[in-house]
Structure 1
Protein backbone atom coordinates (compact mmCIF):
# COMPACT_ATOMS: atom_id res chain seq x y z
CA UNK A 1 0.00 0.00 0.00
CA UNK A 2 1.48 3.36 -0.99
CA UNK A 3 1.57 6.36 1.32
CA UNK A 4 -1.36 8.10 -0.34
CA UNK A 5 -3.63 5.07 -0.04
CA UNK A 6 -2.50 4.45 3.52
CA UNK A 7 -3.44 8.00 4.53
CA UNK A 8 -6.78 7.71 2.76
CA UNK A 9 -7.58 4.37 4.38
CA UNK A 10 -6.52 5.66 7.79
CA UNK A 11 -8.75 8.68 7.38
CA UNK A 12 -11.71 6.54 6.41
CA UNK A 13 -11.14 4.28 9.40
CA UNK A 14 -11.01 7.26 11.73
CA UNK A 15 -14.22 8.63 10.24
CA UNK A 16 -15.96 5.27 10.58
CA UNK A 17 -14.95 5.09 14.22
CA UNK A 18 -16.96 8.20 15.07
CA UNK A 19 -19.86 7.73 12.67
CA UNK A 20 -23.01 6.49 14.41
CA UNK A 21 -24.69 3.20 13.63
CA UNK A 22 -28.06 4.00 12.12
CA UNK A 23 -31.11 2.65 13.94
CA UNK A 24 -32.48 0.34 11.27
CA UNK A 25 -31.51 -2.97 9.70
CA UNK A 26 -28.94 -2.23 7.02
CA UNK A 27 -29.71 -5.54 5.32
CA UNK A 28 -33.08 -4.02 4.43
CA UNK A 29 -32.01 -0.41 4.05
CA UNK A 30 -33.21 -0.16 0.46
CA UNK A 31 -36.81 -0.67 1.57
CA UNK A 32 -36.78 2.20 4.06
CA UNK A 33 -38.33 5.46 2.88
CA UNK A 34 -38.31 8.72 4.78
CA UNK A 35 -40.31 11.91 4.42
CA UNK A 36 -39.17 15.51 4.37
CA UNK A 37 -41.76 17.04 6.68
CA UNK A 38 -41.75 20.30 4.74
CA UNK A 39 -44.04 18.47 2.29
CA UNK A 40 -46.90 18.54 4.79
CA UNK A 41 -46.11 21.68 6.80
CA UNK A 42 -49.66 23.11 6.58
CA UNK A 43 -51.08 19.93 8.11
CA UNK A 44 -48.43 19.86 10.82
CA UNK A 45 -49.36 23.39 11.84
CA UNK A 46 -52.96 22.25 12.35
CA UNK A 47 -52.28 18.96 14.14
CA UNK A 48 -48.67 17.94 14.57
CA UNK A 49 -49.18 14.72 16.54
CA UNK A 50 -52.11 13.50 14.44
CA UNK A 51 -50.37 14.03 11.13
CA UNK A 52 -47.11 12.46 12.28
CA UNK A 53 -49.19 9.39 13.10
CA UNK A 54 -50.61 9.46 9.55
CA UNK A 55 -47.10 9.61 8.08
CA UNK A 56 -46.25 6.40 9.93
CA UNK A 57 -49.49 4.76 8.83
CA UNK A 58 -48.59 5.40 5.18
CA UNK A 59 -45.44 3.30 5.58
CA UNK A 60 -42.73 5.92 6.05
CA UNK A 61 -40.03 4.86 8.49
CA UNK A 62 -37.96 8.04 8.92
CA UNK A 63 -38.58 11.76 8.95
CA UNK A 64 -36.49 14.79 8.13
CA UNK A 65 -37.36 18.04 9.86
CA UNK A 66 -37.37 21.56 8.49
CA UNK A 67 -37.89 24.82 10.30
CA UNK A 68 -35.63 24.73 13.36
CA UNK A 69 -36.04 27.97 15.32
CA UNK A 70 -32.49 28.95 16.28
CA UNK A 71 -33.60 31.66 18.71
CA UNK A 72 -36.07 29.49 20.62
CA UNK A 73 -34.18 26.24 19.95
CA UNK A 74 -37.40 24.51 18.95
CA UNK A 75 -38.77 22.36 16.14
CA UNK A 76 -42.42 22.84 15.27
CA UNK A 77 -42.75 24.84 18.51
CA UNK A 78 -41.43 21.92 20.53
CA UNK A 79 -38.20 21.34 22.37
CA UNK A 80 -35.71 18.79 21.07
CA UNK A 81 -36.86 16.22 23.63
CA UNK A 82 -40.57 16.83 22.94
CA UNK A 83 -40.05 16.50 19.18
CA UNK A 84 -38.06 13.29 19.63
CA UNK A 85 -40.72 11.80 21.91
CA UNK A 86 -43.55 12.39 19.43
CA UNK A 87 -41.61 11.08 16.43
CA UNK A 88 -40.42 7.93 18.17
CA UNK A 89 -43.80 7.26 19.79
CA UNK A 90 -45.11 6.72 16.25
CA UNK A 91 -42.38 4.21 15.37
CA UNK A 92 -40.50 6.73 13.24
CA UNK A 93 -36.84 7.70 13.37
CA UNK A 94 -35.94 11.42 13.42
CA UNK A 95 -33.02 10.60 11.17
CA UNK A 96 -32.16 13.96 9.62
CA UNK A 97 -32.76 17.69 9.71
CA UNK A 98 -32.63 20.63 7.33
CA UNK A 99 -31.30 23.82 8.87
CA UNK A 100 -29.12 26.67 7.62
CA UNK A 101 -26.55 27.94 10.10
CA UNK A 102 -23.12 29.51 10.29
CA UNK A 103 -20.08 27.97 11.99
CA UNK A 104 -20.58 30.42 14.86
CA UNK A 105 -24.13 29.17 15.44
CA UNK A 106 -23.28 25.50 15.15
CA UNK A 107 -22.58 24.31 18.69
CA UNK A 108 -25.98 24.65 20.45
CA UNK A 109 -27.84 23.67 17.30
CA UNK A 110 -25.84 20.49 16.85
CA UNK A 111 -26.24 19.71 20.54
CA UNK A 112 -30.03 19.85 20.12
CA UNK A 113 -29.96 17.53 17.13
CA UNK A 114 -27.69 15.13 18.97
CA UNK A 115 -30.30 15.08 21.75
CA UNK A 116 -32.99 14.24 19.21
CA UNK A 117 -30.88 11.43 17.78
CA UNK A 118 -30.48 13.00 14.34
CA UNK A 119 -27.77 11.30 12.29
CA UNK A 120 -27.64 13.73 9.36
CA UNK A 121 -27.80 17.54 9.47
CA UNK A 122 -28.18 19.16 6.06
CA UNK A 123 -27.86 22.71 4.77
CA UNK A 124 -30.99 23.17 2.62
CA UNK A 125 -29.18 25.73 0.41
CA UNK A 126 -26.53 28.43 0.43
CA UNK A 127 -27.74 31.94 1.08
CA UNK A 128 -27.80 34.60 -1.63
CA UNK A 129 -24.53 36.22 -0.60
CA UNK A 130 -22.59 33.11 -1.63
CA UNK A 131 -24.36 32.77 -4.97
CA UNK A 132 -22.90 35.85 -6.67
CA UNK A 133 -19.62 34.31 -7.84
CA UNK A 134 -17.61 31.13 -8.09
CA UNK A 135 -15.48 32.42 -5.24
CA UNK A 136 -18.64 32.78 -3.14
CA UNK A 137 -19.36 29.09 -3.62
CA UNK A 138 -15.79 28.28 -2.63
CA UNK A 139 -16.29 30.25 0.59
CA UNK A 140 -19.51 28.32 1.19
CA UNK A 141 -17.60 25.06 0.71
CA UNK A 142 -15.03 26.17 3.27
CA UNK A 143 -17.82 26.81 5.78
CA UNK A 144 -19.25 23.37 5.06
CA UNK A 145 -15.93 21.76 5.91
CA UNK A 146 -15.82 23.71 9.17
CA UNK A 147 -19.32 22.85 10.36
CA UNK A 148 -18.95 19.24 9.21
CA UNK A 149 -15.98 18.83 11.53
CA UNK A 150 -18.05 20.20 14.42
CA UNK A 151 -20.90 17.85 13.54
CA UNK A 152 -18.62 14.83 13.43
CA UNK A 153 -17.50 15.54 17.00
CA UNK A 154 -21.13 14.87 18.02
CA UNK A 155 -21.55 11.75 15.90
CA UNK A 156 -23.53 13.63 13.24
CA UNK A 157 -22.83 13.66 9.52
CA UNK A 158 -23.14 16.96 7.65
CA UNK A 159 -24.39 17.42 4.11
CA UNK A 160 -25.70 19.79 1.49
CA UNK A 161 -29.03 19.76 -0.36
CA UNK A 162 -29.30 21.24 -3.84
CA UNK A 163 -31.99 23.17 -5.64
CA UNK A 164 -31.80 23.88 -9.37
CA UNK A 165 -29.90 27.19 -9.15
CA UNK A 166 -26.62 25.34 -8.41
CA UNK A 167 -26.68 24.12 -12.02
CA UNK A 168 -26.68 27.56 -13.64
CA UNK A 169 -23.10 28.36 -14.68
CA UNK A 170 -21.39 31.26 -12.96
CA UNK A 171 -17.92 32.50 -13.88
CA UNK A 172 -17.75 29.59 -16.30
CA UNK A 173 -18.33 26.98 -13.59
CA UNK A 174 -21.30 24.91 -12.43
CA UNK A 175 -21.76 25.86 -8.74
CA UNK A 176 -22.63 22.30 -7.73
CA UNK A 177 -19.28 21.16 -9.14
CA UNK A 178 -17.50 23.86 -7.16
CA UNK A 179 -19.08 22.61 -3.95
CA UNK A 180 -18.23 18.99 -4.69
CA UNK A 181 -14.64 19.82 -5.61
CA UNK A 182 -13.98 22.06 -2.61
CA UNK A 183 -15.51 20.02 0.21
CA UNK A 184 -13.75 17.19 2.01
CA UNK A 185 -15.40 13.92 0.89
CA UNK A 186 -14.59 12.40 4.27
CA UNK A 187 -16.54 15.16 6.03
CA UNK A 188 -19.24 16.49 3.71
CA UNK A 189 -21.85 14.41 1.90
CA UNK A 190 -24.41 15.61 -0.62
CA UNK A 191 -28.13 15.01 -0.33
CA UNK A 192 -29.05 15.02 -3.98
CA UNK A 193 -32.48 16.39 -4.76
CA UNK A 194 -33.16 14.35 -7.85
CA UNK A 195 -35.97 16.50 -9.16
CA UNK A 196 -34.23 19.84 -8.82
CA UNK A 197 -31.10 18.45 -10.45
CA UNK A 198 -33.11 17.25 -13.46
CA UNK A 199 -34.89 20.62 -13.56
CA UNK A 200 -31.42 22.17 -13.69
CA UNK A 201 -30.68 20.25 -16.89
CA UNK A 202 -28.51 17.40 -15.59
CA UNK A 203 -28.92 13.70 -14.81
CA UNK A 204 -28.28 12.13 -11.37
CA UNK A 205 -26.54 9.09 -12.88
CA UNK A 206 -23.78 11.27 -14.36
CA UNK A 207 -22.96 12.67 -10.92
CA UNK A 208 -23.11 9.23 -9.33
CA UNK A 209 -20.42 8.03 -11.73
CA UNK A 210 -18.20 11.10 -11.42
CA UNK A 211 -18.40 11.47 -7.63
CA UNK A 212 -18.96 7.94 -6.45
CA UNK A 213 -20.14 7.45 -2.90
CA UNK A 214 -20.88 11.10 -2.14
CA UNK A 215 -24.68 10.89 -2.27
CA UNK A 216 -25.87 8.69 0.63
CA UNK A 217 -29.09 10.66 1.08
CA UNK A 218 -31.52 11.51 -1.70
CA UNK A 219 -34.51 13.77 -1.90
CA UNK A 220 -36.84 11.69 -4.01
CA UNK A 221 -38.67 14.39 -5.89
CA UNK A 222 -40.34 14.26 -9.28
CA UNK A 223 -40.93 17.18 -11.65
CA UNK A 224 -43.03 17.61 -14.76
CA UNK A 225 -41.98 19.11 -18.09
CA UNK A 226 -42.54 22.61 -16.68
CA UNK A 227 -40.20 21.90 -13.78
CA UNK A 228 -43.01 21.84 -11.25
CA UNK A 229 -42.76 19.42 -8.32
CA UNK A 230 -45.33 16.62 -8.64
CA UNK A 231 -46.02 13.34 -6.78
CA UNK A 232 -43.25 10.80 -7.30
CA UNK A 233 -43.91 8.67 -10.36
CA UNK A 234 -46.15 11.19 -12.11
CA UNK A 235 -43.40 13.35 -13.62
CA UNK A 236 -40.53 12.89 -16.04
CA UNK A 237 -37.80 11.35 -13.89
CA UNK A 238 -36.67 7.85 -14.83
CA UNK A 239 -36.61 6.37 -11.34
CA UNK A 240 -35.88 2.85 -12.60
CA UNK A 241 -32.62 4.01 -14.14
CA UNK A 242 -31.71 6.21 -11.17
CA UNK A 243 -32.45 3.44 -8.68
CA UNK A 244 -30.25 0.99 -10.61
CA UNK A 245 -27.26 3.28 -9.97
CA UNK A 246 -27.76 3.64 -6.21
CA UNK A 247 -24.63 1.69 -5.30
CA UNK A 248 -22.47 4.13 -7.26
CA UNK A 249 -24.14 6.96 -5.41
CA UNK A 250 -23.42 5.39 -2.03
CA UNK A 251 -27.15 5.39 -1.33
CA UNK A 252 -28.29 4.86 2.24
CA UNK A 253 -31.73 6.47 2.54
CA UNK A 254 -34.24 8.32 0.39
CA UNK A 255 -36.54 11.09 1.57
CA UNK A 256 -39.70 11.83 -0.36
CA UNK A 257 -40.39 15.52 -0.84
CA UNK A 258 -43.47 16.80 -2.65
CA UNK A 259 -44.88 20.21 -3.35
CA UNK A 260 -46.26 21.88 -0.26
CA UNK A 261 -50.04 22.20 -0.56
CA UNK A 262 -52.56 23.99 1.62
CA UNK A 263 -55.22 21.34 1.03
CA UNK A 264 -54.82 17.55 1.22
CA UNK A 265 -50.98 17.46 1.29
CA UNK A 266 -51.12 13.87 2.54
CA UNK A 267 -52.47 12.73 -0.82
CA UNK A 268 -49.19 13.51 -2.60
CA UNK A 269 -47.01 11.70 -0.08
CA UNK A 270 -49.41 8.73 -0.13
CA UNK A 271 -49.24 8.52 -3.92
CA UNK A 272 -45.45 8.89 -3.83
CA UNK A 273 -44.70 6.09 -1.38
CA UNK A 274 -47.20 3.79 -3.10
CA UNK A 275 -45.37 4.27 -6.40
CA UNK A 276 -41.96 3.69 -4.84
CA UNK A 277 -43.03 0.57 -2.94
CA UNK A 278 -44.86 -1.02 -5.87
CA UNK A 279 -42.77 0.05 -8.86
CA UNK A 280 -39.22 0.85 -7.71
CA UNK A 281 -38.31 -0.46 -4.27
CA UNK A 282 -39.71 -3.97 -4.33
Structure 2
Protein backbone atom coordinates (compact mmCIF):
# COMPACT_ATOMS: atom_id res chain seq x y z
CA UNK A 1 0.00 0.00 0.00
CA UNK A 2 1.66 3.21 -1.16
CA UNK A 3 -1.14 5.71 -0.74
CA UNK A 4 -1.33 7.42 2.65
CA UNK A 5 -4.26 6.67 4.94
CA UNK A 6 -6.94 9.33 4.58
CA UNK A 7 -9.75 10.49 6.85
CA UNK A 8 -13.20 11.70 5.82
CA UNK A 9 -13.63 15.05 7.50
CA UNK A 10 -17.32 14.43 8.17
CA UNK A 11 -15.95 12.38 11.08
CA UNK A 12 -14.87 15.61 12.78
CA UNK A 13 -17.58 17.89 11.39
CA UNK A 14 -18.46 19.56 14.70
CA UNK A 15 -14.95 20.49 15.88
CA UNK A 16 -14.06 21.30 12.25
CA UNK A 17 -16.84 23.90 12.11
CA UNK A 18 -15.54 25.48 15.30
CA UNK A 19 -11.82 25.53 14.45
CA UNK A 20 -10.82 24.05 11.10
CA UNK A 21 -7.11 24.78 11.33
CA UNK A 22 -6.66 23.18 14.74
CA UNK A 23 -8.58 20.08 13.68
CA UNK A 24 -6.50 19.64 10.54
CA UNK A 25 -3.35 20.03 12.62
CA UNK A 26 -4.51 17.37 15.08
CA UNK A 27 -5.25 15.00 12.20
CA UNK A 28 -1.76 15.55 10.82
CA UNK A 29 -0.21 15.07 14.26
CA UNK A 30 -1.95 11.68 14.56
CA UNK A 31 -0.12 10.64 11.41
CA UNK A 32 -2.70 10.99 8.65
CA UNK A 33 -1.23 12.33 5.45
CA UNK A 34 -4.44 12.75 3.48
CA UNK A 35 -7.99 13.98 4.03
CA UNK A 36 -11.29 13.72 2.21
CA UNK A 37 -13.41 16.88 2.60
CA UNK A 38 -17.21 16.73 2.52
CA UNK A 39 -17.87 20.35 1.57
CA UNK A 40 -15.42 21.69 -1.03
CA UNK A 41 -17.31 25.01 -1.12
CA UNK A 42 -16.21 25.98 2.39
CA UNK A 43 -13.25 28.35 1.85
CA UNK A 44 -11.39 26.17 -0.67
CA UNK A 45 -8.40 28.51 -0.94
CA UNK A 46 -7.95 28.74 2.83
CA UNK A 47 -8.38 24.99 3.20
CA UNK A 48 -5.73 24.31 0.56
CA UNK A 49 -3.25 26.65 2.22
CA UNK A 50 -3.65 25.00 5.62
CA UNK A 51 -3.57 21.47 4.20
CA UNK A 52 -0.44 22.23 2.19
CA UNK A 53 1.25 23.65 5.25
CA UNK A 54 0.52 20.46 7.18
CA UNK A 55 1.60 18.13 4.39
CA UNK A 56 -1.94 16.82 3.88
CA UNK A 57 -2.95 15.72 0.39
CA UNK A 58 -6.58 15.43 -0.67
CA UNK A 59 -7.55 11.87 -1.59
CA UNK A 60 -10.86 13.00 -3.04
CA UNK A 61 -13.84 15.04 -1.97
CA UNK A 62 -17.51 14.45 -1.45
CA UNK A 63 -19.52 16.96 -3.41
CA UNK A 64 -23.22 16.88 -2.58
CA UNK A 65 -23.16 20.49 -3.76
CA UNK A 66 -23.22 19.22 -7.36
CA UNK A 67 -26.93 18.56 -6.90
CA UNK A 68 -27.91 22.08 -5.86
CA UNK A 69 -25.16 24.44 -7.03
CA UNK A 70 -23.85 25.47 -10.42
CA UNK A 71 -21.56 22.55 -11.37
CA UNK A 72 -18.81 24.76 -12.81
CA UNK A 73 -18.61 26.64 -9.51
CA UNK A 74 -18.29 23.37 -7.62
CA UNK A 75 -15.62 21.99 -9.94
CA UNK A 76 -13.62 25.22 -9.62
CA UNK A 77 -13.66 24.88 -5.82
CA UNK A 78 -12.59 21.26 -6.07
CA UNK A 79 -9.69 22.22 -8.33
CA UNK A 80 -8.62 24.71 -5.69
CA UNK A 81 -8.61 22.18 -2.84
CA UNK A 82 -6.48 19.91 -4.99
CA UNK A 83 -8.12 16.71 -6.21
CA UNK A 84 -9.63 15.29 -9.37
CA UNK A 85 -11.83 12.69 -7.60
CA UNK A 86 -15.35 14.01 -7.05
CA UNK A 87 -17.67 11.73 -5.10
CA UNK A 88 -21.45 11.93 -4.80
CA UNK A 89 -22.25 10.56 -1.33
CA UNK A 90 -26.06 10.62 -1.48
CA UNK A 91 -28.88 12.58 -3.07
CA UNK A 92 -30.46 9.81 -5.14
CA UNK A 93 -33.79 8.61 -3.77
CA UNK A 94 -33.58 5.27 -1.98
CA UNK A 95 -36.41 3.93 -4.13
CA UNK A 96 -34.30 4.27 -7.26
CA UNK A 97 -32.18 1.37 -6.03
CA UNK A 98 -35.10 -1.05 -5.97
CA UNK A 99 -35.72 -1.46 -9.72
CA UNK A 100 -33.63 -1.62 -12.87
CA UNK A 101 -35.41 1.45 -14.27
CA UNK A 102 -34.51 3.38 -11.12
CA UNK A 103 -30.92 2.24 -11.36
CA UNK A 104 -30.83 3.38 -14.97
CA UNK A 105 -31.99 6.85 -13.89
CA UNK A 106 -29.31 6.91 -11.18
CA UNK A 107 -26.69 5.89 -13.72
CA UNK A 108 -27.89 8.55 -16.16
CA UNK A 109 -27.44 11.20 -13.45
CA UNK A 110 -23.93 10.02 -12.57
CA UNK A 111 -22.92 9.63 -16.22
CA UNK A 112 -24.14 13.13 -16.98
CA UNK A 113 -22.14 14.55 -14.07
CA UNK A 114 -19.16 12.56 -15.30
CA UNK A 115 -19.32 14.27 -18.69
CA UNK A 116 -19.31 17.65 -16.98
CA UNK A 117 -16.47 16.64 -14.67
CA UNK A 118 -14.35 15.49 -17.60
CA UNK A 119 -14.41 19.01 -19.02
CA UNK A 120 -12.65 20.09 -15.82
CA UNK A 121 -10.15 17.22 -15.84
CA UNK A 122 -12.01 15.40 -13.07
CA UNK A 123 -13.81 12.11 -12.51
CA UNK A 124 -17.07 11.31 -10.74
CA UNK A 125 -17.47 8.57 -8.15
CA UNK A 126 -20.37 7.26 -6.11
CA UNK A 127 -20.37 6.40 -2.39
CA UNK A 128 -22.85 3.89 -1.01
CA UNK A 129 -24.82 3.50 2.17
CA UNK A 130 -26.92 0.45 3.08
CA UNK A 131 -29.82 1.24 0.78
CA UNK A 132 -27.83 0.42 -2.36
CA UNK A 133 -27.04 -3.04 -0.95
CA UNK A 134 -30.25 -4.20 0.72
CA UNK A 135 -32.36 -4.32 -2.48
CA UNK A 136 -31.72 -7.22 -4.79
CA UNK A 137 -32.18 -6.48 -8.47
CA UNK A 138 -31.84 -9.34 -10.93
CA UNK A 139 -30.45 -11.45 -8.11
CA UNK A 140 -27.61 -9.09 -7.23
CA UNK A 141 -27.05 -6.22 -4.82
CA UNK A 142 -28.45 -3.10 -6.48
CA UNK A 143 -25.07 -1.38 -6.53
CA UNK A 144 -23.67 -4.19 -8.67
CA UNK A 145 -26.35 -3.60 -11.31
CA UNK A 146 -25.69 0.13 -11.08
CA UNK A 147 -22.00 -0.48 -11.73
CA UNK A 148 -22.87 -2.22 -15.00
CA UNK A 149 -24.84 0.85 -16.12
CA UNK A 150 -22.16 3.42 -15.32
CA UNK A 151 -19.83 4.90 -17.90
CA UNK A 152 -16.35 3.34 -17.67
CA UNK A 153 -14.79 6.45 -16.14
CA UNK A 154 -17.22 6.57 -13.18
CA UNK A 155 -15.70 4.92 -10.11
CA UNK A 156 -17.01 3.65 -6.79
CA UNK A 157 -16.03 4.51 -3.25
CA UNK A 158 -17.34 1.54 -1.29
CA UNK A 159 -18.33 2.24 2.29
CA UNK A 160 -17.41 -1.15 3.66
CA UNK A 161 -19.37 -0.82 6.90
CA UNK A 162 -22.64 0.19 5.28
CA UNK A 163 -22.14 -2.51 2.66
CA UNK A 164 -22.00 -5.06 5.49
CA UNK A 165 -25.05 -3.55 7.19
CA UNK A 166 -26.82 -3.82 3.84
CA UNK A 167 -26.21 -7.56 3.81
CA UNK A 168 -23.11 -7.92 1.65
CA UNK A 169 -20.19 -10.26 2.08
CA UNK A 170 -17.87 -7.29 1.78
CA UNK A 171 -14.62 -8.96 0.63
CA UNK A 172 -16.59 -10.90 -2.01
CA UNK A 173 -18.39 -7.73 -3.13
CA UNK A 174 -15.10 -5.90 -3.47
CA UNK A 175 -13.74 -8.74 -5.55
CA UNK A 176 -16.68 -8.54 -7.94
CA UNK A 177 -16.43 -4.75 -8.25
CA UNK A 178 -12.64 -4.54 -8.22
CA UNK A 179 -12.31 -2.80 -11.58
CA UNK A 180 -14.61 0.00 -10.38
CA UNK A 181 -13.27 0.70 -6.90
CA UNK A 182 -10.83 3.53 -6.25
CA UNK A 183 -11.51 4.19 -2.57
CA UNK A 184 -12.87 2.46 0.52
CA UNK A 185 -14.49 3.98 3.55
CA UNK A 186 -13.01 1.95 6.38
CA UNK A 187 -15.00 2.02 9.58
CA UNK A 188 -15.94 -0.35 12.36
CA UNK A 189 -18.55 -0.92 15.01
CA UNK A 190 -21.35 -3.33 15.93
CA UNK A 191 -22.55 -3.69 12.35
CA UNK A 192 -26.13 -2.52 12.90
CA UNK A 193 -28.04 0.63 12.08
CA UNK A 194 -28.47 3.24 14.77
CA UNK A 195 -25.47 2.27 16.89
CA UNK A 196 -22.33 4.42 17.12
CA UNK A 197 -19.14 3.41 15.40
CA UNK A 198 -15.88 2.48 17.08
CA UNK A 199 -12.21 2.74 16.19
CA UNK A 200 -11.23 0.60 13.23
CA UNK A 201 -10.13 -2.80 14.49
CA UNK A 202 -12.37 -2.82 17.57
CA UNK A 203 -15.70 -3.85 16.03
CA UNK A 204 -17.11 -6.70 13.99
CA UNK A 205 -15.70 -5.80 10.58
CA UNK A 206 -13.17 -8.21 8.99
CA UNK A 207 -10.82 -5.37 8.19
CA UNK A 208 -7.75 -7.37 7.04
CA UNK A 209 -9.84 -9.37 4.58
CA UNK A 210 -11.55 -6.23 3.32
CA UNK A 211 -8.28 -4.42 2.66
CA UNK A 212 -6.80 -7.48 0.97
CA UNK A 213 -9.76 -7.55 -1.44
CA UNK A 214 -9.03 -4.01 -2.71
CA UNK A 215 -5.28 -3.54 -2.30
CA UNK A 216 -4.97 -0.52 -4.57
CA UNK A 217 -7.85 1.54 -3.16
CA UNK A 218 -7.48 4.61 -0.97
CA UNK A 219 -8.18 3.75 2.68
CA UNK A 220 -10.40 6.50 4.05
CA UNK A 221 -11.29 6.27 7.74
CA UNK A 222 -14.78 7.52 8.56
CA UNK A 223 -16.74 7.27 11.80
CA UNK A 224 -20.20 8.77 11.29
CA UNK A 225 -21.00 8.74 14.99
CA UNK A 226 -18.48 7.52 17.54
CA UNK A 227 -18.89 5.81 20.90
CA UNK A 228 -15.64 7.33 22.25
CA UNK A 229 -13.59 10.50 21.93
CA UNK A 230 -13.32 11.06 18.20
CA UNK A 231 -9.65 11.99 18.08
CA UNK A 232 -8.71 8.99 20.21
CA UNK A 233 -10.71 6.79 17.85
CA UNK A 234 -8.97 8.32 14.84
CA UNK A 235 -5.57 7.75 16.43
CA UNK A 236 -6.42 4.15 17.31
CA UNK A 237 -7.75 3.56 13.78
CA UNK A 238 -4.57 4.95 12.24
CA UNK A 239 -2.38 2.84 14.51
CA UNK A 240 -4.34 -0.31 13.66
CA UNK A 241 -4.29 0.27 9.90
CA UNK A 242 -0.60 1.12 10.01
CA UNK A 243 0.11 -2.10 11.90
CA UNK A 244 -1.69 -4.09 9.20
CA UNK A 245 0.41 -2.48 6.49
CA UNK A 246 3.65 -3.29 8.30
CA UNK A 247 2.75 -6.87 9.24
> Distance between the aligned counterparts of 1:146 and 1:194, measured in 2?
26
> Distance between the aligned counterparts of 1:259 and 1:50, measured in 2?
20
Task: Give yes or no for contact 1:103–1:146 (8 Å, CA) kept in 2.
Answer: no
Q: Aligned pair 1:59/2:59, yes or no? A: no
Q: Which has the larger radius of gyration?
A: 1
Q: Aligned pair 1:226/2:192, yes or no? A: yes
> Distance between the aligned counterparts of 2:174 and 2:235, measured in 1?
28
> Distance between the aligned counterparts of 1:121 and 1:62, measured in 2?
15
Task: Tell me the equivalent position of 1:20.
Answer: none
Q: Aligned pair 1:241/2:209, yes or no? A: yes
Task: Tell me the equivalent position of 2:146.
Answer: 179
Seen in structure 2, the aligned counterparts of structure 1 residues 262 and 220 have a Cα distance that, compared at 3 Å, is closer
> Distance between the aligned counterparts of 2:57 and 2:150, measured in 1?
28
> Distance between the aligned counterparts of 1:51 and 1:281, measured in 2?
25
> Distance between the aligned counterparts of 1:276 and 1:244, measured in 2?
12
Task: Tell me the equivalent position of 2:224.
Answer: 259
Shift of 1:182: 0.7
Q: Secondary structure at the match of 1:236?
A: coil
Q: TM-score, normalised to structure 1's length?
A: 0.78
Seen in structure 2, the aligned counterparts of structure 1 residues 84 and 176 have a Cα distance that, compared at 3 Å, is same
Task: Tell me the equivalent position of 1:127.
Answer: 92
Q: TM-score, normalised to structure 2's length?
A: 0.88
Q: Runs of 4+ in structure 1 displaced over 6 angstroms?
A: none
Task: Give yes or no for contact 2:67–2:91 (8 Å, CA) kept in 1.
Answer: no
> Distance between the aligned counterparts of 1:273 and 1:102, measured in 2?
32
Provide, for residues 63-109 of structure 1, a one-character-per-residue CA deviation record: whole Å limited to 9, x for no partner.
111134xxxxx31xx2x211111111111012311122249832221
Task: Tell me the equivalent position of 2:81.
Answer: 116
Seen in structure 2, the aligned counterparts of structure 1 residues 261 and 224 have a Cα distance that, compared at 3 Å, is closer
> Distance between the aligned counterparts of 2:67 and 2:18, measured in 1?
31
Number of residues paired by the alignment? 241
- CA-atom RMSD, angstroms? 2.3
Seen in structure 2, the aligned counterparts of structure 1 residues 224 and 253 have a Cα distance that, compared at 3 Å, is same
Shift of 1:171: 6.2
Q: Which runs of 5+ in 1 are unaligned?
A: 1-27, 69-73
Q: Which runs of 5+ in 2 are unaligned?
A: none
Provide, for residues 147-194 of structure 1, a one-character-per-residue CA deviation record: whole Å limited to 9, x for no partner.
112212222221000001111226666321231111012x10000111
Seen in structure 2, the aligned counterparts of structure 1 residues 240 and 133 have a Cα distance that, compared at 3 Å, is closer
> Distance between the aligned counterparts of 1:127 and 1:210, measured in 2?
23
Q: How do 1:205-224 and structure 2 match up within 5 A?
A: 205-224=171-190
1:83 paired residue among 44, 47, 58: 47
2:56 paired residue among 92, 103, 113: 92
Seen in structure 2, the aligned counterparts of structure 1 residues 50 and 200 have a Cα distance that, compared at 3 Å, is same
Seen in structure 2, the aligned counterparts of structure 1 residues 59 and 170 have a Cα distance that, compared at 3 Å, is same
